[in-house]
Structure 1
Amino acid sequence: MTKQYKLLALDMDGTVLNENREISDVNKDAINKALNSGVIVSFATGRGYQSIEPYIHELNLDTPIVAVNGSEVWKNPKQLMQRHLLEVEVIKKMHDIALHYDTWFWGYTVEGLFNKEQWTDNLHDYQWLKFGYYTEDDSKIKQIFETIKAWGTLELTNSHPSNLELNPKGISKASGLQALCNWKEFNMSEVIAMGDSMNDLAMIKSAGLGVAMGNAQDIIKKEADIVTLTNDEDGVAKIIEEYILGT
C-alpha cells in the first residue's frame, strides 16, 4: 500500500534539535525508521549549509535539504538544485539599519557566516543568502520590521520572537519544499512539515500535514493542523510513529 506521506520536512532549532542543540537517540531512531520505510526525511532550516553539515553526517543523510529559509535547495548534500541571492546594495542598507538601532546582526553567505563581531566591508566578494537581526528590545524589532516591510522587496520571518530574518521576496521554506516536490513529482499534500517559528509558517500551512511543536510560537500552533510534544520531549519521533510508521 502506498503511504500517504512521502516527505518529512524538519526544522532544526526548536524542532528536531533539543535545547542543547542535539538530536536525541529517540529522534534518531525514529528518523532512521522513517527513512527505512521509504519516506524522504529532509532538513528545512534557516541555517546555512555549514552549520547543517555536522547533523547530516550524524544521521548519515543523503536526502534533499532546504537551507537558509529556502535560499538554497539541495538535491542531496553534494548537489545544489537552486540558489537565490540578496543584492549587495540591500545587504548594505540592512547593515546600516543594524548599526542605527545597535542590534546584533548576521549575514549568511555561500562562503560562510558574518556577524556583528566579524563583519566585512568587501560585500561584493561574497554571495549573500540571508540577513538577520536580534534584539530583546521589542520596539526596535517592530521598527526594523516596519521599515523593511515598506520596501516590499524582501521576505520577513523569524526563527525566534526576538529576531528578524530576511530573504529574497517569495523565498521561504515552503518555496524550497515546492521545488523539491516538483523535482520528485509529488504534491505538497504528501508532505509533513514540522516547525516552531515564523519561518516555518508558510511550509506548515502549505504541507499536507502541518505540525507545530509544543514549544512553538502561538501563531504557529494556531495555524498548524496539529500540535505535538516539545523539542525536548521528542515531538518529532511522536509524529513519525503516528503518521509515518502507524504505531
Structure 2
Amino acid sequence: MYKLIAIDIDDTLINDDKEVTPATQTALEQAVAAGVVVTLATGRAYASAQAIARQTGLNVPIITYQGALVKNLMDEKVLYERYVPQDAVRKLFQYCVEHDLHLQTYIDDKLYAREENQKLIEYSQLNRTQYFIEPDWENKLVPQKTPKMLIIDDPAYLDELSPILRELLGNSVHITKSKPHFLEIMHSEGTKGIALEFLAGHFGCELSETIAVGDSWNDHEMLEAAGLGVAMANAIPALKEIADFVTLSNNEDGVKYAIDKFILKTVE
C-alpha cells in the first residue's frame, strides 16, 4: 500500500498547455480521499509551485527548488531548507561574468539577474515569474541566501560546462538539468530524493511506501529513492531506463494512469 506520491510539475503533472486536466485533478482528489499524501516535487520556486498546488487543492508540504526547500502550503512553515554555500555562489557568479553566461538566482522567492536579456525575459514568461535586475551582484546578491541558481544556455554547451562547474564548486553543490537548456545549482543536499526521504519521515511512512513521478534528469534521485519510480512516456530515455514503470505522457493524463494503477487499482 502506497502512502505518499510525489509528482513533478512541468511536463509531468501539467500538459503542454500548462494545465492540470480535469481527469488528472479528479485522480489527485481520489488519491487524497484514499488516504494518500499527494505532494509536488519541482525545480520551480515556491511561489510558482504553490500557485499550481493551491489550484489542485493540495494542502500539504511541497518540495521546491529541486529539493532545497520543503514548505507547508497552509501556514507556509519551512520544514527543510538548504542554501547554496556562499563560497560557491561567489565562484559561480565570477565564472559566469568572466565567460559572459546568463546566471539567475533566487532570494526570498524572488528571481534576480545582473542584467536583462532575452533568456531572462523568456524564462519569466514561461514560469510567469517577475524578475529583478541587480548589477551590483557582488555586494547585493552574493551575500544573500539562495536555494537555487540557474544557467540558461545551449544544451550541448551546458553538458560541457557541467563537469567544469563540478570541479570549480566541489562537493558542496548539487548540479542537475531540469530542461535541456537549464543547468541548476543547489546545495549538495538540495535534491528531490533527499527531500522525498525527509517528507516520508515527516509523514511517518517508509520510502518503500512512496511513489515518485517525473520526466527529467532532475527527477532521477527521487525515482531511485521511492518505493516505485514512475517515468512519463515523454520522459528522457535515461530516466525511463531507471524507472520501475513508464506511464502515459503528460498530454495523455499519465499521472492519472499511474494513480489509477498503483493507488486506486482501477486499471490493470
Query: So what's the TM-score if we normalise by structure 2?
Result: 0.85
Deviation at 1:31, TM superposition (A): 0.5
Matching of residue 48 in structure 1 with residue 45 in structure 2: yes
Give the aligned residue type for 2:255: V
Matching of residue 31 in structure 1 with residue 28 in structure 2: yes
In structure 2, the residue matched to 1:216 is 235
In structure 2, the residue matched to 1:64 is 61
Tell me the secondary structure at the aligned position of residue 61 of structure 1.
coil
Deviation at 1:20, TM superposition (A): 1.9
How far, CA to CA, are the matches of 1:191 and 1:75 in structure 2? Answer: 19
CA, structure 1 residues 77+68, in 2 after alignment: closer, same or farther (shift >3 Å)? farther
Give the aligned residue type for 1:94: L
Matching of residue 96 in structure 1 with residue 114 in structure 2: no
Give the aligned residue type for 1:7: L
In structure 2, the residue matched to 1:169 is 188
How far, CA to CA, are the matches of 1:123 and 1:89 in structure 2? Answer: 12
Query: Per-residue CA shift, 1:28-52, capped at 9, x if unaligned?
Result: 1111111111111000111111101
Tell me the secondary structure at the aligned position of residue 81 of structure 1.
strand
CA contact (8 A) 2:84 2:185 kept: no
How far, CA to CA, are the matches of 1:129 and 1:111 in structure 2? Answer: 9
CA, structure 1 residues 218+101, in 2 after alignment: closer, same or farther (shift >3 Å)? farther
How far, CA to CA, are the matches of 1:224 and 1:17 in structure 2? Answer: 20
Query: So what's the TM-score if we normalise by structure 1?
Result: 0.92
Larger deviation, residues 85-94 vs 31-40:
85-94
How far, CA to CA, are the matches of 1:5 and 1:18 in structure 2? Answer: 25
Give the aligned residue type for 2:151: Y
Deviation at 1:237, TM superposition (A): 0.4
Deviation at 1:109, TM superposition (A): 2.3
Aligned match for 1:134, one of 122, 133, 152: 152
Matching of residue 143 in structure 1 with residue 166 in structure 2: no
5+ residue gaps, structure 1: none
Note the 1:201-240 alignment, pairs <5 A: 201-240=220-259
In structure 1, the residue matched to 2:207 is 188
Deviation at 1:119, TM superposition (A): 3.6
Aligned match for 1:20, one of 8, 17, 20: 17
Give the aligned residue type for 1:16: L
Deviation at 1:124, TM superposition (A): 5.0
Tell me the secondary structure at the aligned position of residue 251 of structure 2.
helix
